[in-house]
Amino acid sequence: MAIEIVEGDITAQQVDVIVNAANSSLLGGGGVDGAIHRRGGPEILAECRKLRAGHYSRGLRVGQAVATTAGRLPARWVVHTVGPVWSATEDRSSLLADCHRNSLRVAASLGASTVAFPAISTGIYRWPLESAAEIALSTVTEELASDTSVTLVRFVLFGQAAYDIFRSRLP
């Protein structure tokens, strides 16, 4: 098992699972979500709509994760998870940890071995990168030590600053 930190675009990753920093609607948004739907094509959104028409009629709850096809992306599946919005007055760390844990569990349920994560919640949801890196890395480390099919987790960061922060917090 291994954790890698790279700088780049998550939609270009050749892995089994690309994790999407989605929103509760599952119907697309900005940032990573926008890039995944743009590059992955309409098949992903079509599956998201089906999820909304079925079990997820009220959307995906913060911290939960669900898989769809990866469409035209060089991956087998996209696992959509909803990060918490940063709050200075309320500690939502456990929800950010849930995103990572549940995404890996969904990936493992599919038999995936390689998974790429963006820095969930650190864009539009304003979570400070230092804190997000600590929560993401410790949760993934813990989950990789459990009984899982996942052997490689790659964090794909946008820009040198985010890359350096994740790098410096790798245990």
Helix runs in the chain, H state only: 31-40, 42-53, 93-109, 129-144, 160-168
Pick 9 or 142: Cβ nearer ligand ADP: 9
61 neighbors 153 (Cβ within 8 angstroms): no
Residue in 33, 91, 98, 164 annotated catalytic: 33
Q: Which of 64, 100, 123, 137 binds ligand ADP (CB under 6 A)?
A: 123
Which residues in 72-101 contact ligand ADP (CB under 6 A)?
83
CA dihedral over 109, 100, 9, 164, signed as positive or negative: negative
The pairing of strands 15-22 and 114-117 is parallel
Pick 71 or 83: Cβ nearer ligand ADP: 83
CA dihedral over 84, 35, 10, 126, signed as positive or negative: negative
Is 98 annotated as catalytic?
no
Q: Which of 10, 18, 73, 97 binds ligand ADP (CB under 6 A)?
A: 10
Q: Which of 5, 11, 135, 150 binds ligand ADP (CB under 6 A)?
A: 11
Please, what is the minimum distance in Å from the beta carbon of residue 127 to ligand ADP? 7
Q: How far apart are CA 101 and CA 115, in angstroms?
A: 12
Interacting residues of 107 by C-beta distance below 8 A, sequence separation 6+? 16, 17, 67, 77, 79, 115, 149, 150
Per-residue x/- track, 32-61, ligand ADP (CB under 6 A): xx-x--------------------------
Residue 115 near ligand ADP by CB under 6 A: no
Residue 13 near ligand ADP by CB under 6 A: no
Pick 21 or 107: Cβ nearer ligand ADP: 21
- Listing from the earlier edge strand, what are the strands of the sheet with 114-117? 2-7, 152-157, 114-117, 15-22, 75-82, 65-69
What are the residues binding ligand ADP (CB under 6 A)? 9-11, 21, 30-33, 35, 83, 118-125, 156, 158, 162
Catalytic residues: 33
